[in-house]
Chains A and B, each alone.
Chain A
Amino acid sequence: MSRGHRPGHRSRGREGSPSSPSGERTLVLPGEEIRAQGLKPGPGTYRTGGKVYASVLGLLSERPPLVQVIPLSGRYIPKPNDTVLGTVTDVQGTFWLLDIGAPRWAPLHMTGTPWQVDVGETDRFLRVGDAVVVQVENLDATGRIGVTMNGEGLGKLEGGTIVRISPARVPRVVGRNGSMIDTIRRHTGAEVVVGQNGRIWIGGSPDAIHRVSEVLRIIEENAQHSGLTERIESYLLATMPTDAKGPEEPPVEHAHRDAPPKVLPTTDVDEDAVEAEDDTPEPVEPSER
């Protein structure tokens, strides 16, 4: 049986595309036949006997020339250029291994950092348990997905806390054109680094951290329900500290050495993967209450 998708390139809803005409997205299960309508089988599908079937539980998505299924569950599958948060699980002479919530650990080579690291000195820079923001590169010689720390917004994380959500929920946390993450940042003053792997770093006052954590929990539990944006906004407004003057700018002190990354570029957000909310309202300014 031939399969119409390349291993290791499972889409998490990354390329932008117009929604299907009806605005609906169909839930499909493994083994269900997919009407391909002249499209080629893509990730999450397989072809046999002249027909195309879903191989994972997820949402059917037509992206000409491909038809694919976007998984609704499961571990994070790395894709080149993703920004992810990882925890160091092993230190070797010339590299570290990071747990990024993917099926395999990701190697970070000593040359993939802005530091001057000598062979055997790796543990002076990163130890087991340290958390970092890195970018996914490509498969290395051993079949692992390599990552790099060279780049803007990447680096070691200090302070704050890390919250985990399902990777399938990340587009919801970012929102259409970054609207949701923008709302969260402005209403809490927190620094937030969102990893495509569902790991999210939050920095700021304990109160800000708590409120952002709550918002993430609400999104995780209610992502498929409509009215989520309003619900988040009500929560943020209801829990605004009494001495707040309104949405704040992020604090000048940055929790890690490099500048915090901006909101993820819009091309990284898949319109289809954001659960249908036909008209996402503009974030409400507190003064407009």
Chain B
Amino acid sequence: MGSVGAKEVPVLLSPEGLRIDGRKLDELRPIHIQVGALHNADGSAFVEWGANKVMAAVYGPREVHPRHLQQNNKAVIQCKYNMAAFAVDERKRPGLDRRSQEISKVIGEAFESVVFAEEYPRTSIDIYIEVLQANAGTRCAGLVAASLALADAGIPMVDLLPAVAVGKIAGKIALDLKKEEDNFGEADLPMALVPQSGRLVLLQMEGHMTEPELSQALELGVQGCRDIYEKMKQALRERYSTGPVGGSA
């Protein structure tokens, strides 16, 4: 994303090992979470992650429309990821495009792997992710926001789904790429972790890595996910804290 044009390639890694925004290779961008940001949805969350701003909403479980999509033994999980026209430098035409469809599919499948859909046969659980401002890693930010929205909506799941992208910049494995790093880096590996089982339910890679690099990237990503998991839990606790008596940990 973004217009590359005749720009020079920025220096992605300084001799001291610092990235263009001053982070070290294993550092996350700042993340701010607001659970329950919307009034109409059954569950919602607004996530600001670096310069990303992503809103997610969940409606359901509810009746399926159109009827023929319903499944007899479980809820249908429908996920729609969309970017606002003004979310990126070069205006994006409103409407479904191939990238959004692909992202919708992989995120939907990630949630199908953890939601107890059999509890609600013949219903649908609709997940909507809107990217209002994009700066690389929107599918991970969207997944995190949607996971929080599902918890906010009382949907039963195995666990929350922290997600993060690991990349390769200037030959080094780096956690949580921002836009310039994504544009000029050599690989991008988004992943989502089920902390309870330690398994990944979303894993993709664009670019190239050697085997040792991939192992290192997976380790770095899993640790990043665990850190994000703590932030997600804290945001939910703050939203649902029961006050002075019977409070959370």
Contact = CB atoms under 8 A, between A and B. Distances in A.
CB–CB under 8 A between A and B in the complex?
A: yes
Contact of A75 (B42, B121, B237): B42
A55 B122 contact: no
B108 to A, nearest CB: 18
Nearest to B121: A143
Contact of B242 (A27, A30, A75): A27
A78 B235 CA distance: 29
B196 A53 contact: yes
Contacts of A186: none
A103 B123 contact: yes
A71 B60 contact: no
A63 B120 CA distance: 24
Contacts of A26: 246, 248-249
A71 B154 contact: yes
A225 B237 CA distance: 15
Interface in A33-73: 44, 46, 48, 53, 55-59, 71-73
Nearest to B124: A103
Contacts of A29: 151, 160, 233, 236-237
- Give chain B's interface secondary structure class: loop
A55 B156 contact: yes
B23 interface: no
Contacts of A71: 154
A56 B156 contact: yes
Contacts of B157: 30-31, 55-56
Interface string A104-117: 11000000000000
Interface string B61-103: 1110000000010010000000000000000000000000000
Q: How large is the interface on B (under 10, 10 to 19, 20 to 34, 35 or more residues)?
A: 35 or more
A58 B242 CA distance: 10
Nearest to A97: B63
Contacts of B60: 75, 103
A210 interface: no
A55 B120 contact: no
Contacts of B158: 30-31, 46, 53, 55
A226 B63 contact: no
B30 interface: no
B63 A104 contact: yes
A276 B155 contact: no
A8 interface: yes
7 contacts: A46-B156, A56-B157, A75-B61, A75-B153, A104-B61, A143-B72, A225-B243
Interface of B: 42-43, 60-63, 72, 75, 116, 118-123, 151-160, 194-196, 233, 236-237, 240-249
